[in-house]
Structure 1
Amino acid sequence: MERENTLLMIVDYQERLVPTIHENQKILTQAQQVIQAFEIFGIPMVVTEQYPKGLGQTVAEIKNCLNERVPVFEKLSFSAYLPEIQTLLQEKAVKDVVLIGMETHVCVYQTCKELLQDGYKVHVVKETVGSRIAENAQNGFELMRKLGASVTNKETIIYEIMKVAGTEEFKKILKIVK
């Protein structure tokens, strides 16, 4: 995985959805750390919001980690693989998509499935993804693995992108992940 062809997709961390998610505070903390690390890496990001009229906007905990250049896309489809995002992925020559978000077995799963069908490598950061019911999340992870996604963790993905220790960047990342 290389920075120049990786994108972080932040799916549906919304005001009325997050409180219903199993272990939501733990998930939000892990997601914040991934977003902060990807910001240091200079990796592009996109945010989606599922029917914000009903589910609200992106929660403050996530919104506050994002810079103003991160585009937010509203959607009605469960998949976040929207035409606008497809265009963005092509323009940036993205090969690897890192997925974080909600819910594991619905929006994250359907997004993962469509990305894989179009030939992208998909990396789902397990501790940043959740569902209302833990068993549904587990089922979503199993389905994504069977499709060929890498279901990974925060530190693996961060250190895979960083590649080397002993740099100023490494010191900044240590403050986030420790």
Structure 2
Amino acid sequence: MAAARTSLGRVLPGSSILFLCDMQERFRHSIVYFPQIVSVAARMLRVARLLQVPALLTEQYPQGLGPTVPELGAEGLQPVSKTCFSMVPTLQRELDSRPQLQSVLLCGIEAQHTTLDLLERGLQVHIVVDACSSRSQVDRLTALARMRQSGAFLSTSEGLIMQLVRDAAHPKFREIQKIIKEPVPDSGLLGLFQGQNPLF
């Protein structure tokens, strides 16, 4: 279903889903800021569960790259195995079964392929920038710029959490407030965004 307000990028719990892409053991030492992005993705998953936002988890060739790292806290989520670099072909049926879906919140490894496929379906894509990374900072920076140029929204985890909860009167706000107050690890983004960066 095409997003109604693509230009604004509104995020609402009832029309959003959290994608958790390929945060697996073998990537632990090859992806820059891996522990930090997993920590932030775990934060997003905790909030998603509180707000009843569905979450989908993939693993890239788990026979060779290992299982999802335990610190993500994804117990209860059934990982979907894939070989395609995009999450979308593997999750096609799941997406088709959600006609109300407008926004995908994306965390994980090498998110560019998934982003382009989701945008092609007419969905809003919100990149959780402090929960996404690549093999190098150059690849990460270029991918973020590419996704933004293609129409994805770049947001921090805190920005998206505040959009989802919307109001301090929300019945889950106190629990979410505790999560927001927890220190967020430095995921190496400040250096990417500082100065006159021609890609942003």
| Structures share fold, TM-score greater than 0.5 | yes
1:54 to 2:79 alignment: no
In the other structure, the counterpart of 1:109 is: 112
Tell me the residue number matched to 2:93. Answer: 87
- The 5 Å alignment of 1:27-38 reads 27-38=37-48
What per-residue deviation string (whole Å, max 9, x for no partner) do you get for residues 113-148 of structure 1?
Answer: 000011010000000001121111000000000000
| Partner AA of 1:111 in structure 2 | T
SS of match in other structure, 2:93:
helix
Does the Cα contact within 8 Å between 2:38 and 2:108 map onto a contact in 1? no
More helix by share: 1
Q: Pick from 65, 71, 81: which aligns with 1:74? A: 81
1:20 is the counterpart of 2:30: yes
Q: Which ranges of structure 1 fall in alignment gaps of 5 or more residues?
A: none
User: Residue type of the partner of 1:28?
Assistant: V
Contact map agreement 1:81 1:114 (CA 8 A) in 2: yes
Q: Tell me the residue number matched to 1:145.
A: 148
Residue ranges of structure 2 left out of the alignment (5+ in a row): 1-10, 182-200
Compute the RMSD of aligned alpha carbons: 1.2
Tell me if structure 2 keeps the 8 A contact 1:45–1:71: no
In 1, Cα distance between the equivalents of 2:171 and 2:75?
21
Give 1 or 2 for the bigger CA radius of gyration. 2
What percent identity do the matched residue pairs reach? 29
**TM-score normalised over the length of structure 2:** 0.81
Q: CA deviation at 1:67?
A: 4.4
1:124 counterpart = 2:132 = no
Q: Which of structure 1's runs of 4+ aligned residues deviate more than 6 A?
A: none
One-letter identity of the residue aligned with 1:10? L
Matched, 1:156 2:154: no
Secondary structure of the 1:132 match is coil
TM-score by length of 1: 0.91
Give the superposition deviation at 1:166. 3.6
